[in-house]
Structure 1
Amino acid sequence: MAHPPTTGAAGSPAAGALSGRRPAWREGIERARAAATTEPGRLRLIGAVLAALVVAFGAVTAWQVSDRRTAADAVAEHSQPLSAAAADIYRSLADADTTAASAFLAGGQEPAEVRRRYEADIDRASKLLVRAAATTDGSATAREEIRRINQLLPVYTGLIESARANNRQGLPLGSAYLRYANDTMRERLLPSAGRLYQAETARLGEDYGEAKSWPWAAIGTGAAALAALGWAQRRDFLRTNRVFNRGLLASTAASAVALLWLVAGHALARAGLDDSDRHGAQSLHVLNEARIDSLRARGDENLTLVARGAVVVDRGEDKGKDAYEVSYAERMADLVGEPGAGAGAGVDRAVSGSLLARARDLADDAEGRAPVDEAVARLREWQERHKAARAADDAGNYKDARAKVIGGEGSTGESFDKVDKLLAKALAHEQREFARAADDGRGALTGLAVGAGVLAALGAVAALLGMGRRLAEYR
């Protein structure tokens, strides 16, 4: 009597049947392939692809718009304020150095107002450094420069106090301490502050670049989704002679609205950010440079009287000349050009290419140009008064020269104060212009990420419903 084969034995028919069975994933693929050979199967596949494309478009749009909105927020709320704070640190340090030289020129009993201004500058710089250290992130250069300035600032203030103490006693050593303090400021502190400003300004440029870059991935995905929807509707028309598929038409409309919103919204945001850059951030950068150069020119002017020719240029065509007077002339040339070169038609203008000429070109309204034009006139006045002070000093009349520099009405100090106030006014105006344009730019992206996501979801549902209506005809 024959026995049935054992099902678990090797080489048995049962084992052979099990070993010949196809994996589940392969069976799934073959079933999908077989279903695609029928019209209902093709419709299901087309509906799934259309819905996936529309959803992908919404997801990529939300992602890229969110990134650009974050970068635009960083421009307005983080990187530009940090850049402005770094410029203010530089200006406060330069003003402290200039004020210290003015106090020294006044003699042993410096005016209380001048002393308060110096102390306010040092205090402001210290507070700004603390704030910058707390808010600066991602920049090793910025952190290192903040650390270096914090180390050098007590050294500088100690040298200034030594200069004051010796000056009060009438000792000539005071001027040596002041020159050493000035060297510390100009050769170590201000270069560090300048590098800090450059690092923060570079970060601002990176944020601008990210905020303004076109969302090409989202635009490309949206175009692909619209193309696929158009193809599906044409296919439907050719097979059924029906002009419209309501579901596909609604999906196309939702996708088209999202794409147009994306392109128009980003174009408006880009225009606003461009405006905030050119007529805001760039204007602020040039005006900050101009204000710092005016401070350094004032410091050079004071130190020319303090040093009395003890510091000279040791190389180049200016060899043997007073180093501070040469530096003063260079600063003035950077600000407005050579004396008298900008005059014409009864109106004094800064020479093309100078800092104040660039600031005027970047100002986009009369309110921004007016203080710059007035600053040019006051700088020309300063240059003429400086010539008179130098002539008195060269003639051996030191007291008269000092009065023309640090005296009241009619002195170069009066001209400098007017220039500084006018540049501060121009900076305040351009800061407001920056804030307005930056807010307009990032405001154009408001709601776009969420809106694109909602439209994409509606479009995907409409596409599935449209294809589902066609599938119902086969039941």
Structure 2
Amino acid sequence: MRPSERVFSGPAGTLLHYRRTRLRNQASDAPRKEAAEDDAADVPEDTRDHWLDEVTSDDDHQHRGMWARTRTTFAVPYLWFRRVFAFLVTTPGKLVGISVILSMSIFAAGYSMSQSSSERESELDFLLTTTEPMSYAAHNLYTSLSLADTIATTGFVQAGVESAGTRARYNAAVDRAMVSATESAAGISPSDGETLQLIADIERQIPVYTGLVETARTNNRMGNPVGVAYMAEASSLMRETILPAAARLFSLTSTEVRNQQNQLTRPQWVPLSGLLAAALFLVVAQWLLWRMTRRRLNRGFLVATALMLIAVVWVSASNFGTWQAGTRGFEEASMPWDSLTASRIQAQQARTSETLALVRRQSVTDSNISFEATADAVTVALNDFEQAQGHNPNASSANRMQITEARSALADWEAAHERFTSAMTNGNYPEAVRLATTTTLIPGSPATSAAAYDRLDGALSRLIADARSSMRAYINDGLAATKLVSTAVLLLSVLAIISVWLGVRPRLQEYL
């Protein structure tokens, strides 16, 4: 036995054994402690205390393929898709799918038609309250300017100071023209540069015209012959500059009314085809439902089909009524409106030419040519109005009386103009002045040019007002045809959707 292994008894032996055991354990644990310290150095500082957790690296994620990451990302949506598809291939799934498709198609068709009808109703209302009054204001501007020139020229021929009545009529015509110009501008879009420029030119030239007229009157009262030149210059400015601009303005606004009316009265083919498609889908769905359930008829689907057919019939009737009122009726009313307005302006200009010939003491050959053209234009306009009234079942006897009055006044004016021409040719100036200015008739004597023209102008004015009333009535009829269509179609569509789900509900309950 070696001395180091000698056994000691007692406390000294126990202490020695403890020391030897401790030294052996320290010697065996030293390599493991150093390895643990090396591993701990590699672990991040904030995770060294998690000695029970398994710390992993992101290297595994970086080495994963694109397909694996995509599959992981869309795993949940793909799972839901598989579940939905698995449900749709079953009979209850097919019933639900058919009902959803029908509901979407019915709602889309009904909403589209409802929006289209609502927009058409608002645009027709805008046409009735804004565009058409703007056109009528342009008409009043046109006729008022021409009438003011006619009255000013006639008053200038009268001996001495013109009468208070003539002066009041002239002022009223000028005032009405200025107000009409403002009303015309109120309904014009700022982007319509041509129309705004026409109104600006007219409003700028009217004070120039009235200034020339007042200068002519002042010189006439003072006995200065230069007054004739001022009046001729004023009439030339009106007829060559102001009236052509007013005629262009009236033409543009009338065309705008006609274009809007034609556009708003066309059938609503696209929304109507949507309603027809929804009704067709319902028929196909009932056939599929019969194939799946072996039941020929479904009450809910039948009610939905009936509701959609009611919507189709309602919309078709509304479109037909709007088209008939806007296309046929409006065209029949607008044709005499345009021709009557043009013929009235021609009559006023012929009257002005007749009077100017008297003022200038010149030949009336040119005025005779324009007078004949004016008479023909008035006759054509009266024929157009009479023809339009013949197609109108609601034509009143008052309109026919106005046509008769206009024809009679035109015949009297033609006869008086011949006598006026004869007096001017023979140098009978007092008789020519009487025929051109006197409006009071002597019992038993033929009518003068002034009296016959006043009757004709009054009759044409009343006929134009009747033609405008007819046009507005047709626009109003088109607007009335669109009333309640928007709300009714949307309500019928919602009821049809409810009917579809009520009809499919008993079939779904069979699988619960």
**Range into which the TM-score falls when normalised by the shorter chain:** 0.7 to 0.9
How far off its partner does 1:12 sit? 5.6
The answer as to 2:402 corresponding to 1:402 is no
Which of the numbers 435, 439, 454 marks the counterpart of 1:417? Answer: 454
- Asked if 2 retains the 8 angstrom alpha-carbon contact of 1:372 and 1:422, the reply is yes
Which of the numbers 111, 122, 136 marks the counterpart of 2:188? Answer: 136
C-alpha RMSD of the superposition: 2.3
How far off its partner does 1:136 sit? 2.6
- 2:388 paired residue number: 362
Unaligned runs of 5+ in 1: 311-320, 337-353
- Asked if 1 retains the 8 angstrom alpha-carbon contact of 2:127 and 2:260, the reply is yes
The more displaced of 283-292 and 398-407 is 283-292
Which of the numbers 310, 325, 335 marks the counterpart of 1:272? Answer: 325
Distance (Å, rounded) in 1 between the aligned partners of 2:461 and 2:197: 29
- 1:293 paired residue number: 346
Which of the numbers 133, 137, 140 marks the counterpart of 1:88? Answer: 140
Written as runs of structure 1 = structure 2, the 5 A alignment for 1:343-358 is 354-358=380-384
2:156 is paired with a residue whose SS is: helix
Which of the numbers 252, 269, 289 marks the counterpart of 1:236? Answer: 289
- Asked if 2 retains the 8 angstrom alpha-carbon contact of 1:107 and 1:168, the reply is no
Indicate how the Cα distance of structure 1 residues 123 and 20 shifts in structure 2: closer, same or farther if over 3 A, else same: closer
Indicate how the Cα distance of structure 1 residues 10 and 368 shifts in structure 2: closer, same or farther if over 3 A, else same: farther
Q: Which amino acid aligns with 1:10?
A: D
The answer as to 2:185 corresponding to 1:99 is no
Indicate how the Cα distance of structure 1 residues 27 and 372 shifts in structure 2: closer, same or farther if over 3 A, else same: farther
- 2:60 paired residue number: 11
Identity level (%): 28
Deviations 1:96-150 (A, max 9, x none): 0000110111133112211111111001111121222223335332222111111
The more displaced of 457-466 and 327-336 is 327-336
- 2:484 paired residue number: 447
Distance (Å, rounded) in 2 between the aligned partners of 1:7 and 1:460: 57
Deviations 1:399-422 (A, max 9, x none): 111111112322100000111111
- Asked if 2 retains the 8 angstrom alpha-carbon contact of 1:279 and 1:362, the reply is yes
- 1:469 paired residue number: 506
Which of the numbers 244, 256, 266 marks the counterpart of 1:191? Answer: 244
How far off its partner does 1:392 sit? 0.9
Deviations 1:51-73 (A, max 9, x none): 00100111111111112212221
The answer as to 2:124 corresponding to 1:59 is no
Indicate how the Cα distance of structure 1 residues 70 and 19 shifts in structure 2: closer, same or farther if over 3 A, else same: closer
- Asked if 1 retains the 8 angstrom alpha-carbon contact of 2:300 and 2:503, the reply is yes
How far off its partner does 1:182 sit? 0.9
How far off its partner does 1:6 sit? 5.9
How far off its partner does 1:276 sit? 4.6
- Asked if 2 retains the 8 angstrom alpha-carbon contact of 1:287 and 1:423, the reply is yes
Structure with higher Rg: it is 2
Distance (Å, rounded) in 2 between the aligned partners of 1:28 and 1:141: 62
Written as runs of structure 1 = structure 2, the 5 A alignment for 1:33-432 is 33-137=85-189, 139-274=192-327, 276-309=329-362, 322-336=365-379, 354-363=380-389, 364=392, 365=395, 366-408=397-439, 409=441, 410-432=447-469
Distance (Å, rounded) in 1 between the aligned partners of 2:273 and 2:77: 32
Unaligned runs of 5+ in 2: 1-51, 442-446
2:72 is paired with a residue whose SS is: coil
- Asked if 2 retains the 8 angstrom alpha-carbon contact of 1:301 and 1:324, the reply is yes
Distance (Å, rounded) in 1 between the aligned partners of 2:109 and 2:339: 42
Q: How many residue pairs align between the two structures?
A: 446
Distance (Å, rounded) in 1 between the aligned partners of 2:431 and 2:71: 112
- TM-score, normalized by length of structure 2? 0.82
